[in-house]
Amino acid sequence: MLRVGLTGGLGSGKSTAAKLFAVHGAHILQSDAIGRELMELGQPIYIGMVDHFGPGVVLADGTLDRAALARIAFTEGRVEELNAIAHPLVIARQMELTEKIFQQEPHAVVMVESALIFETRYGADGSRWQSRFDRIILVTAPEKVKIARFVARCSTGRMISEEQRAELEAEARRRLAQQISDEQKSALSDYVLTNGGALTELEWQVDQLWPILETAA
């Protein structure tokens, strides 16, 4: 078995890398997807957010107001308050799902895709990333590329004004500022994939790395 952390800053393309590894047979656990599941009505993160931030983060239909939470996190500078609620629950769920996979497939490669593997201080049992992963893969891209990808993702299917573009670019920079630099992450990672160019370049890197991971499992 091999527990792999797959990380990268906003717009780096780690989700694209995850899909490529999945084609080879890796089991992918997406932190964002797990978080969304646990934010549903009545789920643990939902309860924690409402208890901490109050009814102002709840929409009329009873679901969490994600826009309000994003505003609290990134505009009001309270991201650590959200992380302290969400991260332990998400990490605990990751570990639970990982164990289930290994019980069924002892030599599986399980990848946890998460932007904040190094940044989080809220392991399920107080542990840091070193105790949760056997290998770390970092996906990198130039900052200009990351910001352009963020803008493209947020504006998919609609035309935006120059003012809106500038606002999205500023939002991307705010979010990137919450994450440690690629240079720091590279020093902590076992493998680094560069994703600033064509998709075929990333595919080649994944193809080269997969046999190494498979052997380690």
31 assigned binding-site residue? no
How many structural domains comprise the chain? 1
Does residue 216 lie within any of the structural domains? Answer: no
- Residue 8 belongs to a domain: yes
The answer as to whether 86 is a domain residue is yes
Whether this prediction's pTM lies above 0.85 is answered by yes
200 domain residue, yes or no: yes
Query: Which CATH number characterizes residue 6's domain?
Result: 3.40.50.300
- Checking if the pLDDT of 126 tops 70, the result is no
Asked whether residue 217 is domain-assigned, the answer is no
pLDDT (tens digit, 9 = 90+) per residue, 9-58?
899 999 999 999 999 999 999 999 999 999 999 999 999 999 999 999 99
Task: Give domain status of residue 67, yes or no.
Answer: yes
To the question of whether residue 12 is assigned a binding role by annotation, the answer is: yes
Confidence of residue 192 (pLDDT cuts 50, 70, 90): very high
pLDDT in tens, 137-170: 999 999 999 999 999 888 887 888 888 888 889 9
Report the b/e string of 71-106 with b at 16+ CB within 10 A. Answer: ebbbeeeebeebbebbbbbbbbbbbeebeebbeeee
Q: Does the annotation flag 15 for ligand binding? A: yes
Domain assignment of residue 158, yes or no: yes
pLDDT beyond 70 at 175: yes
215 assigned to some structural domain: no
> In which domain, by residue range, is 82 found?
2-210
For the cut 60, the answer to whether the pLDDT of residue 124 exceeds it is no
14 is in an annotated binding site: yes
Residue 177 is predicted with a pLDDT of 83
Token pair recorded at residue 107: 């030599």
Alpha helices by DSSP H, the chain: 14-24, 31-38, 44-53, 66-70, 79-104, 143-154, 162-177, 182-188, 199-216
